[in-house]
């Protein structure tokens, strides 16, 4: 066996092992809140002079709490209150949108509720109905090393990405 062929076989074996390690969790109800502790922190994306900022607490009890704000042109445009809670059927991501004077956008009786639909260790996707009930929304959180976090928001057939850095 040539050295090149040996390297190729070793590379393929390592690749197969990492693919197995990245297989989605089949039993999403088994995913615990502490499995998402990598989301905790202060995250910023300052692309094109706009600020997207997300702050998450560490897991405590049955929840993690977060907030998100978007600032453009030196003004707050929208903010969100976020939570991830451990429920009997698995993890639930809840959020409420607020206009700058803290007027809520959703029905005051319920928040937007997204269920965990995919988990890969350092990637988690949540999906559910939009606050108006007319469409679906999917949020995917993906760790990029220790100091990077990519959040992808999919709704209305469009995807928007936030490339956060730890502050």
pLDDT tens digits for 100-142? 999 998 888 889 999 999 999 999 999 999 877 789 999 999 9
Q: Decide if 64 is inside a domain.
A: yes
Residue 9 lies in a domain: no
Which of 130, 126, 86 shows the shortest CA–CA distance to 107? 130
Residue 84 token pair? 């991830």
C-alpha distances in Å from residue 10, one per residue of 18, 19, 22: 12, 14, 18
Total domain count, the chain:
1
Instruction: Give the domain range for residue 121.
Output: 25-166
Whole-model pTM? 0.83
Residue 2 located in a structural domain: no
Domain CATH code at residue 148 = 2.40.128.20
Instruction: Examine residue 15 and state whether it is found in any structural domain, yes or no.
Output: no
Map residue 162 onto helix, strand or coil: strand
140-167 residue pLDDT tens: 999 999 999 999 999 999 999 999 999 9
Query: Which tokens belong to 5?
Result: 């062929």
Let me know if residue 75 belongs to a domain: yes
pLDDT at residue 5 above 90? no
Residue 46 lies in a domain: yes
């Amino acid at each position: 066996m040539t050295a090149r062929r040996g390297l190729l076989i070793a590379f393929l074996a390592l690749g197969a092992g990492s693919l197995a390690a990245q297989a989605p969790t089949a039993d999403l109800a088994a995913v615990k809140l502490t499995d998402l502790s990598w989301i905790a922190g202060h995250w910023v994306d300052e692309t094109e002079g706009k600020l997207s900022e997300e702050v998450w607490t560490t897991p405590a009890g049955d929840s993690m709490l977060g907030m998100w704000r978007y600032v453009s042109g030196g003004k707050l445009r929208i903010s969100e209150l976020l939570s991830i809670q451990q429920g009997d059927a698995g993890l639930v991501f809840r959020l409420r949108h607020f206009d700058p004077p803290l007027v809520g956008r959703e029905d005051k009786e319920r928040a937007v509720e997204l269920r965990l639909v995919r988990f890969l260790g350092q990637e988690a996707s949540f999906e559910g109905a939009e606050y108006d009930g007319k469409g679906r929304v999917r949020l995917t959180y993906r760790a990029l090393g220790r100091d990077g976090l990519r959040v992808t928001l999919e709704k209305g057939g469009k995807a928007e990405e936030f490339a956060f850095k730890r502050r």
